[in-house]
Homo-oligomer: A and B are copies of this chain.
Amino acid sequence: MTIYDISLPISPSLPVWEGDPKIILEEFLSMDAGADANVSRFAAGVHVGTHVDAPHHFLNDGRTVETLSLDILMGTAFVLHLDDDVNLVTAEVLDAAPIPPATLRLLLRTSNSRQWTLDSPEFQRDFVAISADGAEWLVEHGIRLVGVDYLSVAPFDAPIPTHQILLRAGVIIIEGCDLHHIPQGKYALYCLPLKLIGAEGAPARAVLVG
């Protein structure tokens, strides 16, 4: 069994969503300056790096991230490779894809993942995302968790429909997965977001075992 880390490296050089707070990761206490221990301080928007979205993010309904089911965040997942010519994940694309029956957790590897092999990626607006009819397809096919390899599940210019369709159905969304090194197939997923109380999302560490 191999453990694959699909989490983005969190540092001030990681791109964040346009308009979101910058990532701060800085020295707070330093042994070089005479302290007993090194201690760092971290600050960011909660939708930073690899992270999960809870319904409150786009539904304003009070269903915040600490309520998400660990039963869904851990379990068998299928990593689907989509060709480089797919620039929107529509119902038609999903219909044609070799997703095994009874898949509950689906991670989509697209050309986005190539971003995470760059030394200094910059924020992209033209990433591959899921269309509204793609989101409806996922809900209708019983998907309980969907992961994508860029910082949003929805197109830059149309954030609301895809998020609302998935979140209204209780689908857990993982954004910012680095899947560039993951072969297509089944894995055990462990996605553990910070237990932030009352927040509409949280950064997570996510790994695949397979």
List A residues at the B interface (Cβ < 8 Å): 3, 5, 7-11, 20-21, 24-25, 28, 31-32, 36-47, 49-50, 56-58, 60, 66, 70-71, 74, 159-160, 163, 190, 192-201, 203-207, 209
Chain B residues with Cβ below 8 Å from A43 are 24, 41-44
Say whether A10 contacts B205, CB under 8 Å: no
Query: For the complex, what is the distance from the CA of A132 to the CA of B130, rounded to whole Å?
Result: 54
Beyond A41-B21, A60-B31, is A192–B163 a contact (Cβ under 8 Å)?
no
Say whether A200 contacts B39, CB under 8 Å: yes
In the assembled complex, the CB of A50 is this many whole angstroms from the nearest CB of chain B, namely: 8
- For A26, give the chain B residue with the smallest CB separation: B199
Known: A10-B196, A20-B28. 7 other contacts (CB 8 A): A5-B195, A37-B163, A40-B199, A42-B42, A42-B199, A74-B209, A194-B194
In the assembled complex, the CB of A61 is this many whole angstroms from the nearest CB of chain B, namely: 10
Say whether B74 contacts A3, CB under 8 Å: yes
Say whether B57 contacts A46, CB under 8 Å: no
Say whether B195 contacts A192, CB under 8 Å: no
In the assembled complex, the CB of A203 is this many whole angstroms from the nearest CB of chain B, namely: 6
Identify the 4 closest CB pairs spanning chains A and B, nearest first. Answer: A43-B43, A192-B205, A11-B197, A192-B192
Beyond A192-B192, A205-B193, is A45–B37 a contact (Cβ under 8 Å)?
no
Query: For the complex, what is the distance from the CA of A25 to the CA of B10, rounded to whole Å?
Result: 18
In the assembled complex, the CB of A64 is this many whole angstroms from the nearest CB of chain B, namely: 9
Say whether A201 contacts B9, CB under 8 Å: no
Beyond A25-B196, A41-B43, A43-B24, is A36–B159 a contact (Cβ under 8 Å)?
yes
